[in-house]
Homo-oligomer: A and B are copies of this chain.
């Protein structure tokens, strides 16, 4: 009725008490993402590894594998069908894990520029590859850092989900960008960047190609967006990887210093797969970083109406003034 789709992942099927007792934290020896334990994950799909080393053995720096408990499965067709007044389809999709580093204890913002760049390259490679599958409409890369942000394993990793429908929130944003473009014949994100660069109060940091800002109406304290300054619809076609790596790492470091290594989520907002025509003019890829500082409560869930105790101008000032090591 409101266009909401839910993935019922019954293969993960949990019984009531499973929710009450949390899984125990694995040690390095039992961590499936640590070198030496490659056999504990599905086979690698993409890997940056030393010359002469074999797949699914140590010697890698960034490694992409299938999710062992995928929310969606790569095989089969959608089989959309009705069930009374409802709609159902099969959970076709891809669900992959990007293991960012072999170091069990390193956080993403602590990686060397070289290692961080391999993570960004892995995102790009996997999106480019999955884009060729005609069943997919959207490919989402996201990261949950810390248990409070939804990470189930401590070893630093990101995830990728490819879905056969465009998710609801993504559609809303795309539609908004299309309406704005139809009205102004300009990209709303390009206009936003121009305005924020003139105003300066919400700018966190920037380099030649990218800018990090606090959005005008942040849902969460210290919500931070990173955007390419030029109009670019596709993350996977962006060639400024060194500039992107540098500014994303700096932004995460500023959040870490200012907030004391907070749990966070980030998401790459990208154009849909196989989008064409004016959508290429209207949409502008970007990353949204959401530190998890406050509990999201019933009010926010029920209304989509957020209460944020921190002005974005104040958050930007704290982040600009953070002293990086």
Contacts and interface: CB of A to CB of B under 8 A. Distances in A.
Interface of A: 1-10, 12-17, 19-20, 71, 83-86, 140, 142-144, 147-151, 159, 161, 163, 167-170, 172-173, 175-177, 179-180, 188, 191-192, 195, 199, 216-219, 221-222, 258-260, 262, 265-267, 269, 288, 290, 293-299, 301-312, 314, 318
A85 B259 contact: no
B267 A302 contact: yes
B309 A10 contact: yes
Contacts of A144: 295, 297-299
A154 B307 CA distance: 20
A84 to B, nearest CB: 5
B302 A142 contact: yes
A150 B199 contact: no
B195 A259 contact: no
Copies per complex of this chain: 2
Nearest to A72: B307
Contact of A192 (B85, B151, B216, B312): B85
Given A2-B172, A150-B295, 11 more contacts: A1-B176, A7-B305, A13-B311, A16-B222, A140-B302, A150-B299, A151-B297, A168-B305, A170-B303, A269-B302, A290-B298
